[in-house]
């Protein structure tokens, strides 16, 4: 029954009682031999138990190394690399001194395969140098690990590709090409080979190809645990969360103490809940139950994270748990709980960036801009070579509503750094150029914006943001023919776009084709009735087309939708003054100046309203008395002050041209151009322009 100690106790008691002498020597020898057999069995059992404990530890550490290698939970780019190296090393150390004899042939084969896989994992991680490491030296170290792997197992497709990568980093292109050809000539022939191939495809972000390899491995060997685990990880990457959960649940039935599996399943539950929550927010009442389903998934995710925490995770797993649970709690609008998780993660691993990033995103979502910028800045100090950190800080800088000129310049510098650190042709880098183009436009630099848009479109020709921003840049440069051509081309290639139709309307208005402009604005509003800018632009076009009542309706609607839009108030003021409502008109002009930092355009349009209001007040004088003349004079004075403010807000180099080409030719200002104050202002402007 293998109950060695129970057998030894009576034998030892018997031997203690047998007296010495020849008569019982045979019996004593027989019992002694039996006791030795029992002791040997017990020692063998202890060796077997120790071997099995080592095997279980090896299996657990191997799974951890596999999960770290997937990088689905990370501590930032280099944190992942270091964590993967360490996990693979720990697993390899379990049997570094050799395989214990008591293991069965099947168990020994499992260990040999596992060590081969772990050497490949570690070699790949070592081949990616951390800052401060010499890339060539790291490639040499990785090749030495691959040489060890070759002594355990016949070279596989993944082995040859890893060697090719290392040799390329060493600068040995011919040898690297030879290894790539060797990979092509080494097809996977068993479940293990397909797992290794899938793992390497996963590293190359070829999710669907990796899934196919893992599925083949499971067809060959349905109980292939690693194939099932890595298939689940791939399914998470392609957002098939329900299938991933099913695979992870199956893995947990076989390995219920694997912390990483609970983390992965918790992540899957959270992402599925997030997907349902998004649909619920846009759904009709008959789908209202989706919100409850989302909450149920979030609860299940919390339960998995709680279970993982109870299993006493190591610092790396605990860090991943806190970061991902914090992100989940942020989605549930539990800001204090989320910040608590992120803060604890930072205290656990202050040299990793993931918690700083997610904490920064949490503060952004809740409008705490300064704290968000602080988190991204701390992350940048740790990883100044990561483009995404500068991008995150730039976006945080813009969260203050109407950004100041200083905030715009800071955000532009951050995006410039992100672009410099990004890779040419990368979609995210193209998006950064489009973002920078938008900021250049806000800062009044359309030429720089246009250059960024052209660069972005070379990388992503159909990007809608870059297309629209290119048109806006051309619009600012008053290249109206190009604007119309670009809009026509973009509209012909893609879906109808409210923004592009509005931009084409602006270009037509710039060419004084107001009927066509009104038609474009109307089509834009048919696609998106809530566009305040299209309403405002159509309102101005109606004013120029002698349709002030239609204009007034557009400006009223724009103010209802966007009550902080200054141009809508000036437009309504101009429409009102054309109806003789000069007091309401100047009230609108003053209201326009109270929304945000007044721009030159805003103060100039307010001056135009006051100038026309002076005409309306003067017209009332015969009917309402000489007091209206005094009102008109006050309006004139205010118009002069606003024109002066406009010129002061313009760069000195632009003032002369603006005065000559705009102020002196604008029909709205005709009533004040003959006044002595206007002449005095002209002289002052001449000195300002110099």
pLDDT at 98: 81
At 207 the three-state DSSP class reads helix
| Ranges under pLDDT 70 in the chain | 43-45, 71-79, 282-288, 424-425, 596-597, 624-626, 685-690
At 531 the three-state DSSP class reads coil
The pTM of the full predicted model, rounded to 2 decimals, is: 0.67
Q: What is the per-residue pLDDT across 553-589, written as a single tens digit (0 to 9) for each?
A: 999 999 999 999 999 999 999 999 998 899 999 999 9
Residues 523/531, Cβ–Cβ less than 8 Å = no
Q: Which residues make Cβ contacts (< 8 Å) with residue 611, sequence separation at least 6? A: 635, 636, 639, 668, 669, 670, 671, 672
Instruction: Enter the DSSP assignment of 285.
Output: G
Q: How far apart are the first and last CA of the chain?
A: 107
pLDDT at 378: 94
Torsion region of 651: left, alpha or beta (phi above 0 gives left; psi -120 to 50 gives alpha): beta
Kindly report the backbone phi and psi dihedral angles of residue 74, in degrees, each rounded to the nearest multiple of 5, phi listed first. Answer: -135, 170
Locus of tokens 């355009």: 601
> Token digits for 552?
């007034």
CA dihedral 371, 377, 382, 383 (to 10 degrees): 120
Rg (CA), the chain: 37
Whole-number Å distance between alpha carbons of 629 and 320? 74
> Token digits for 672?
């004040």
Give the long-range contacts of residues 587-594, CB within 8 A, separation 24 or more: 589/613, 592/566, 592/567, 592/568, 593/566
Q: Which residues make Cβ contacts (< 8 Å) with residue 543, sequence separation at least 6? A: 551, 571, 574, 575, 578
Q: What is the per-residue pLDDT across 208-245, written as a single tens digit (0 to 9) for each?
A: 999 999 999 999 988 888 889 889 999 998 999 999 99
CA 437 to chain centre: 19
CA distances to 327, 349, 380, 520 from 373, rounded to whole Å, are: 18, 20, 10, 40
pLDDT at 97: 80
Residues 54/101, Cβ–Cβ less than 8 Å = no
pLDDT at 505: 93
């Amino acid at each position: 029954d293998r109950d060695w100690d129970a057998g030894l106790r009576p034998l030892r008691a018997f031997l203690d009682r047998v007296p010495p002498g020849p008569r019982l020597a045979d019996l004593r020898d027989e019992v002694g031999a039996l006791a030795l057999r029992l002791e040997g069995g017990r020692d063998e059992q202890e060796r077997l138990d120790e071997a099995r404990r080592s095997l279980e530890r090896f299996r657990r550490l191997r799974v951890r190394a596999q999960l770290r290698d997937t990088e689905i939970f990370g501590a930032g780019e280099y944190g992942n690399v270091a964590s993967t190296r360490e996990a693979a090393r720990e697993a390899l150390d379990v049997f570094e001194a050799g395989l214990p004899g008591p293991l069965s042939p099947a168990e020994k084969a499992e260990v040999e395969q596992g060590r081969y896989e772990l050497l490949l994992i570690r070699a790949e991680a070592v081949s990616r140098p951390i800052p401060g490491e010499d890339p060539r030296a790291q490639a040499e170290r990785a090749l030495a690990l691959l040489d060890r792997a070759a002594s355990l197992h016949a070279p596989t497709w993944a082995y040859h590709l890893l060697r090719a990568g290392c040799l390329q980093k060493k600068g040995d292109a011919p040898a690297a090409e030879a290894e790539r050809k060797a990979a092509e000539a080494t097809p996977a022939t068993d479940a293990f080979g397909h797992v290794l191939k899938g793992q390497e495809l996963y590293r190359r972000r070829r999710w669907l190809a990796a899934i196919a390899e893992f599925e083949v491995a499971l067809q060959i060997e349905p109980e292939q645990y690693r194939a099932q685990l890595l298939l689940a990880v791939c399914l998470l990457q392609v957002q098939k969360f329900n299938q991933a959960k099913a695979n992870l649940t199956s893995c947990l039935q076989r390995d219920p103490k694997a912390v990483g599996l609970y983390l992965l399943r918790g992540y899957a539950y959270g992402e599925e809940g997030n997907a349902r929550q998004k649909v619920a927010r846009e759904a009709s009442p008959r789908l209202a139950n989706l919100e409850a389903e989302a909450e149920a998934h979030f609860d299940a995710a919390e339960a998995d994270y709680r279970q993982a925490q109870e299993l006493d995770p190591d610092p790396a797993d605990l860090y991943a748990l806190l970061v991902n649970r914090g992100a989940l709690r942020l989605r549930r609008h539990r800001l204090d709980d989320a910040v608590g998780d992120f803060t604890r993660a930072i205290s656990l691993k202050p040299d990793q960036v993931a918690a700083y990033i997610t904490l920064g995103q949490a503060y952004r979502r809740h409008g705490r801009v300064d704290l968000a910028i602080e988190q991204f800045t701390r992350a940048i100090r740790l990883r100044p070579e990561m483009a995404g950190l500068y991008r995150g800080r730039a976006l945080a800088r813009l969260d203050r509503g109407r950004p100041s000129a200083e905030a715009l310049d800071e955000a532009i510098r951050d995006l410039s750094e992100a672009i410099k650190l990004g890779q040419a042709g990368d979609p995210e880098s193209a998006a950064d150029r489009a973002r920078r183009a938008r900021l250049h436009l806000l800062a009044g630099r359309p030429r720089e914006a246009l250059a960024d848009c052209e660069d972005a479109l070379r990388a992503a020709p159909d990007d809608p943001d870059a297309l629209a921003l290119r048109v806006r840049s051309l619009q600012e440069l008053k290249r109206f023919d190009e604007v119309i051509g670009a809009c026509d081309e973009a509209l012909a290639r893609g879906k109808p776009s409210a923004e592009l139709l509005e931009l084409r309307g602006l270009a037509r208005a710039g060419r004084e084709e107001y009927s066509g402009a009104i038609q474009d604005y109307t089509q834009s509003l048919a696609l998106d009735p809530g566009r305040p800018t299209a309403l405002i632009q159509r309102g101005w076009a109606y004013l120029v087309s002698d349709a002030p009542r239609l204009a007034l309706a557009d400006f009223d609607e724009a103010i209802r939708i966007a009550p902080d839009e200054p141009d809508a108030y000036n437009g309504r003021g101009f429409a009102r003054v054309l109806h003789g409502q000069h007091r309401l008109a100047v009230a609108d002009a003053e209201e326009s100046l109270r929304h945000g930092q007044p721009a030159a355009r805003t103060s100039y349009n307010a001056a135009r309203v006051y100038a026309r209001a002076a005409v309306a007040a003067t017209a009332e004088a015969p009917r309402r008395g000489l007091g209206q003349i005094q009102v008109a004079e006050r309006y004139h004075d205010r118009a002069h002050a606003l024109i002066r403010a406009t010129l002061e807000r313009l760069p000195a180099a632009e003032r002369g041209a603006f005065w000559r080409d705009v102020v002196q030719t604008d029909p709205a200002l005709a009533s004040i151009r003959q006044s002595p104050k206007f002449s005095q202002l002209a002289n002052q402007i001449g000195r300002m322009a110099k």
